[in-house]
Structure 1
Amino acid sequence: MSQTTVVHGEKISLLRVLGPAHIWALGVGIVLVGEYMGWNFAVGKGGAIAALIACWFAGLLYTCVAMIDSEVTSTVAAAGGQYAQAKHIVGPVMAFNVGLYLVFAYTMLEAANAITLGYLVQTVGSMAGFENVHDKPFIVLTIMFLAWLNYRGVYATLTFNLVLTAIAFVAIIILFAWVRPWSTEMLKHSDLLNGLPYGFIGVIASLHFGLWYYLGIEGTCQAAEEVRSPARSLPLGTMSGIITLLLAATMTWYVCTGLMPWEYLGQAITPLFDAARLTDSKLLMILLFVGTMFSTMASANGCINDASRAWFSMGRDRYLPTWFGAVHPKNRTPFRSIVFLVPVALIFAYFAPLDQVITFSILSGLLGYTYMSFNVIMFRKKWPLDRIKRGYIHPFHPLPALVLLLLCSVTYFAVFLGYGTQLVAMMLFFAVASIWFHFHRYRFVRRGDQFSMQWPRPVGY
């Protein structure tokens, strides 16, 4: 617990206390809630088969993300993740935008988790005979409690995530085994898998919510400055995380499409909990209620961790007011960034509908993934493998980057089909933010101090 890292000459710095299990818990913990809610909107867009195609399509996209992230982050071991990478590899305007992508993606995901948890408590309360249970107080209490936990320290925060995530993942495995997937006694896929009700365009439209199965796995990068051995822990935690999520996503789709009509599944708020209710097992229903609660809490907890690190890093580099770049003298956490983002999450959780919040998070993440495809190509070109030692080297370069760019392009079109207004509005917002940064904020940045990696001069410079 006594190890520290001093970055940019800070006297008080973040602690290096995390290992591979914490990285796994951070990545999977943020994402596993996507198996408990949100992914099923893809069924409503194109049917059950289209949702499965979206699941595997997004799985390929995020495998590319995980491979690219593992290489670059094991080399750029600084808080801020992709923001820190863009700062060193691409340039300041790109870095500012990537920082905003990260903060919006994780804050919106945090809000979606709080909405789901409030809905679940309200539903269970109604089932138990408490008709006057309201979801809003539980939304506020969840965000406030998890923000307090993050404020207190990163080791306790991610250890808590490890326990919650493990239980939620085991709950999915138990449900999968309980319905006996090797028989047709409970699962009626032959009756429910009705092809593609909206044709091929339904498959394209479903890709939008297919990302929800895995959105947030790239958040493992945010802990780069708090890991004991970045070169080992970050690739191991990230790659094992994406394997875990691929298994969980496929099992979730198989169970839910076998138990529920696709018309209902496409608009359900808590599909795995609904699946447990259909088994007529009180024990299983309780287990999946706990799993849904734990997955939403773990995801919101990890989102607060990641969003605050990105905001903190931008403040420390003067991309934002330096007030946000402070580290708590006792807890060694970016406490001001944590507190500042709480009301932002509360506003969206309180007033925005779930599908809109999910869409804002997906769009922010998608913009970040598009950047990553260019980033890794520039990284390899400027600093070839023989110039900088890497903790992990992803294979088949540049194929993963090109595949990622192609998949992102298709997904933009999928989002445009259902949420074109939101897509255009977000693009305009980031364009205005870039202009503000270029003409106003960048003059406050100390250009030499923002670079923390002691790298040789790039090839060609």
Structure 2
Amino acid sequence: MAKTTTTATAPAPQKINLLRVLGPAHVWALGVGIVLVGEYMGWNFAVGKGGAYAALIACWFAGLLYTCVAMIDSEVTSTVAAAGGQFTQAKHIIGPLMAFNVGLYLVFAYTMLEAANAITLGYLVSQVATLSGYTGELNQSPFIVLTILFLAWLNYRGVLATLNFNLVITAIAFIAIILLFIGVTPWSAATPLKHAQLMSGSAALPYGAIGVVAAMHFGLWYYLGIEGTTQAAEEVRSPARALPFGTMAGIITLLIAATLTWYVCSGLLPWEFLGDGVNGSVAPLFDASRLTGSQFLLFMLGIGTMFSTLASANGCINDASRAWFGMGRDHYLPAWFGAVHPKFRTPYRSIVFLVPIALIFALGGALDQVVTFSILSGLLEYTFMPINVIMFRKKWPLDSIKRGYVHPFHPLPAIVLLCLCAVTYFAVFLGYGTQLIAMVGFYIVVSLWFHFWRYRFVSRGKQFTMPWPRPNGY
């Protein structure tokens, strides 16, 4: 009798992916949540650069810049719906070296912003302690560490809970700005706003036209991070609907919040105090609420400042980890970072790895320096976007692939964005030329490292993952 043997075939291991659980409201909460802290702190450094009127002009021109960013991002991301956002876009449209650099721009922009948020939260805790009668010097470091660790833990546990949390606290922080505007009754003769007195004579534009240009540096802080909505691309249920709707609703929200913030703060606080980054205002909306004499507004803006910093740091951890995860998954970084948690379905290794980096800058950096490094990384990323969308439209015309959203007036938004980026580079150079040169030098060095060493580990055949036809000209 012949002996028969059966060979059992082991089942292939199941690939674990990120969960698609997010909707348009979560995209709005991610984008606005990261940025709204810019209304609570940081934008006021623009006042120090050129005066209150210069800060308003910078606010609106930066708003135009970010409207172009939102329009371009909405089209490309709703079509290239994958974790990594602009990193993944660059990989498909331009090439590996640009993708590597864009990935680093994203990680540094969000990690520096996260550190700035933690610094602001520490300051707020010390101010609340002083108002409560505490006479000693409060150590802010434990509050900074606990904030970053708590939010990293929340991100580790799942994206849905993370962005539900962001949705609630971001909405409260936005409502607080509306309440402050209503509370100062600008339509009443008894309003405490004193624009005419505070912004008359030489205070209007103390440094002239060059001050307006210089103010563009920190004008970006009103909106920096709205492009982070792209990092949710792989976790939304309907990228074609949720990403454009959430992003465009987000930029509208921020334009309203930024204008109201400038109006109230410039009418209550002298421009010299508002723009002094050393001895002046750290949290201008909170400081403005103190001058209203209303305990309710003081409480609401204290809560709003705290919630805006938490929402921003929370979103930054989400976005930085997705960019780092995308680079790891595609072997631009060690593949170890491309792991997804089997239970929580989050890029947990990337989340944990970036925590100590954020802590180093939060505990050892000055607020204006940390803000500047975040702005510079973001600015480099925005310079890439016009090139990206022009090449995207050229390689894949509108009738060649299905897009979730088509932004109007192309290529005008790309040209406007590129021009505004050039102006902002000059503005940054006026005050922080050394930092600008140092950061550009850093990215040149890491580009050389990637080209001569890391690129050998990248699988060229697996870079292009979208089901698109061959691009025009290839």
Alpha-carbon distance in 2 for matches of 1:275, 1:126 = 17
Matched, 1:175 2:180: yes
Alpha-carbon distance in 1 for matches of 2:130, 2:48 = 26
Alpha-carbon distance in 2 for matches of 1:11, 1:364 = 33
Is the deviation greater in 184-193 or in 78-87?
184-193
> Partner residue of 1:452?
465
> Partner residue of 1:148?
153
> Partner residue of 1:5?
none
Q: How does 1:199-210 map to 2 (within 5 A)?
A: 199-210=208-219
Counterpart secondary structure, 2:176: helix
Displacement of 1:192 in angstroms is: 1.1
> Partner residue of 2:15?
11
Alpha-carbon distance in 2 for matches of 1:246, 1:48 = 17
- Encode CA deviations 1:361-413: one digit per residue, 9 max, x unaligned: 00000000000010000000000000011110000000000000000000000
Is the deviation greater in 132-141 or in 291-300?
132-141
**For residue 20 of structure 1, what is the amino acid of its counterpart?**
P
> Partner residue of 1:223?
232
**For residue 443 of structure 2, what is the amino acid of its counterpart?**
F
> Partner residue of 2:162?
157
**For residue 139 of structure 1, what is the amino acid of its counterpart?**
I
Alpha-carbon distance in 2 for matches of 1:88, 1:433 = 21
> Partner residue of 2:246?
237
> Partner residue of 1:370?
383
> Partner residue of 1:435?
448
Is the deviation greater in 328-337 or in 441-450?
441-450
Alpha-carbon distance in 2 for matches of 1:103, 1:244 = 25
Alpha-carbon distance in 1 for matches of 2:462, 2:341 = 21
> Partner residue of 2:119?
115
User: Which structure: larger Rg?
Assistant: 2
Is the deviation greater in 10-19 or in 230-239?
10-19
> Partner residue of 1:192?
198
Displacement of 1:451 in angstroms is: 2.1
TM-score, length-scaled by structure 2? 0.95
Alpha-carbon distance in 2 for matches of 1:132, 1:49 = 36
Q: How does 1:397-412 map to 2 (within 5 A)?
A: 397-412=410-425
TM-score, length-scaled by structure 1? 0.97
1:318 pairs with one of 331, 345, 361: 331
- Encode CA deviations 1:15-34: one digit per residue, 9 max, x unaligned: 00000000000000000000
1:61 pairs with one of 41, 60, 65: 65
Alpha-carbon distance in 2 for matches of 1:10, 1:426 = 41
Alpha-carbon distance in 2 for matches of 1:411, 1:370 = 11
Unmatched 5+ stretches in structure 1: 1-8
> Partner residue of 2:5?
none
Moved over 6 A (4+): none
**For residue 383 of structure 1, what is the amino acid of its counterpart?**
W
State the identity %.
78
Displacement of 1:452 in angstroms is: 1.9
Alpha-carbon distance in 2 for matches of 1:183, 1:359 = 38
Matched, 1:389 2:395: no
RMSD value, Cα: 0.8
1:273 pairs with one of 275, 286, 305: 286
Alpha-carbon distance in 2 for matches of 1:418, 1:319 = 34
> Partner residue of 2:41?
37
Displacement of 1:128 in angstroms is: 1.1
Alpha-carbon distance in 2 for matches of 1:135, 1:179 = 31
Displacement of 1:10 in angstroms is: 7.2
> Partner residue of 1:3?
none
Tell me the matched-pair count.
453
Alpha-carbon distance in 1 for matches of 2:317, 2:108 = 11
Displacement of 1:450 in angstroms is: 2.4
Displacement of 1:457 in angstroms is: 0.4
Displacement of 1:136 in angstroms is: 0.6
Alpha-carbon distance in 2 for matches of 1:134, 1:79 = 38
Alpha-carbon distance in 1 for matches of 2:165, 2:385 = 30
